[in-house]
Amino acid sequence: MGNQKSTISDDGFELKNTSGRAQLWLSKLGEIPITVHRDPPDDADIKTVIIKREPTGKWYAILGVETPDDPPEKPENPEQCVGIDVGILTYAHDTDGIAVKSLDLSDERERLERAQRDLSRKQHGSANWEKQRCVVAERHADLKRKRRDFLHKLSNYYATEYDLVAVEDLDAKGLIELPGNSRNRAGAAWGTFRRMLEYKCEREGTHFVAVNPRGTTKECASCGVSTDKPLWVREHSCPACGFEADRDANAAWNILARGITKRLGAGHSELTPVETALPVDTSVSAKCVVEAGSPTLKREPSGER
């Protein structure tokens, strides 16, 4: 059973809170008790309600709201800037030396595969088949919830902690279609992360810049000389200037330099990582991000960029 969804305009619904119980009034159905995930802002104007049924059989009401508040003002010449390189084993490696490991969903995938095998043994259309189909749908939903929770918290961290965020403008769909390791690339959900990061930066007034990803790994962040590196080589060592760094850290610095040039102009990105001193990389588990809501690290001032 696929998703069922319908949209209702603002004259066909009303959100009520009577005696501490939330209710949604729909013009054709009347009052429906609901569980509110979080309260809408006091100054929010609810414009639409989307009623959606998931494959699990559960119904959701998604509120579309407008708020009059303008995003907080960030400096026109941002001071706290970060470049982010995304990957598979290390999901995000940034220019402040934070390396966030990818979320381990192996247990959830194993439970999903067991549920799918059990479903394949049931007679299609029978009561037991329908019951097991709901189990499979729940396993899929569990995977999706945990992945989106991780991406929401990580993107919110970067949008709120920095004045400018630079990322690669990756063709996520095209990368998934490439042969080899497509499952891991699809599970990484880089496109979803970028979309979340972009709209949260807009909400927070943070400068968001997507840059051309071509050559960010090959180019030396210190001198700009390109050097071919197979995927298994995880360290960058420039034969021209001798600059050495983690492969992903080098890419992140190139992404930041391109982002500053694109957003503010070439004169703002003249300093190189060698001149500003690369921070020591700190590895952060995805579990830390999920439990704490962001990488629980105290960022030290990294000097002039």
191 shares its domain with 237: yes
| 263 burial level (CB within 10 Å; 0-12, 13-18, 19+) | middle
What percent of the chain clears pLDDT 90, i.e. is strictly above it? 26
φ, ψ for residue 38, nearest 5 deg: -155, 150
Q: Is 72 domain-assigned?
A: no
Sequence-distant (6+) residues with CB within 8 A of 102 are 87, 88, 89, 90, 91, 188, 286
pLDDT band at 302 (very low <50, low <70, confident <90, very high): very low
157 shares its domain with 247: yes
Domain hosting 45: range is 4-66
Q: Is 297 domain-assigned?
A: no
Report, as residue numbers or ranges, the catalytic residues: 85, 168, 248
192 shares its domain with 216: yes
Q: Is 74 domain-assigned?
A: no
* C-alpha–C-alpha distance, residues 63 and 50, integer Å: 7
58 shares its domain with 177: no
pLDDT band at 301 (very low <50, low <70, confident <90, very high): very low
Flag whether pLDDT at 299 surpasses 60.
Answer: no
Q: Is 89 domain-assigned?
A: yes
* C-alpha–C-alpha distance, residues 76 and 204, integer Å: 14
Flag whether pLDDT at 26 surpasses 70.
Answer: yes
Task: Give me the helices (H) in the chain, please.
Answer: 106-120, 127-161, 172-177, 182-188, 190-204, 247-264, 273-276, 286-292
Q: Pick the last residue of a domain from 66, 90, 110.
A: 66
93 shares its domain with 234: yes
Q: Is 75 domain-assigned?
A: no
pTM for the structure as a whole = 0.75
**pLDDT tens profile 225-278:** 888 887 777 888 888 888 888 888 888 999 999 998 888 775 565 555 555 556
| 99 burial level (CB within 10 Å; 0-12, 13-18, 19+) | buried
User: What is the count of structural domains for the chain?
Assistant: 2
The three-state secondary structure class of 138 is helix
* C-alpha–C-alpha distance, residues 251 and 25, integer Å: 52
Which two structure tokens, joined as six digits, stand for 102?
Answer: 């990818």
126 shares its domain with 275: yes
- Give, rounded to a whole angstrom, the gap between the first and last alpha carbons of the chain: 53
* C-alpha–C-alpha distance, residues 124 and 203, integer Å: 47
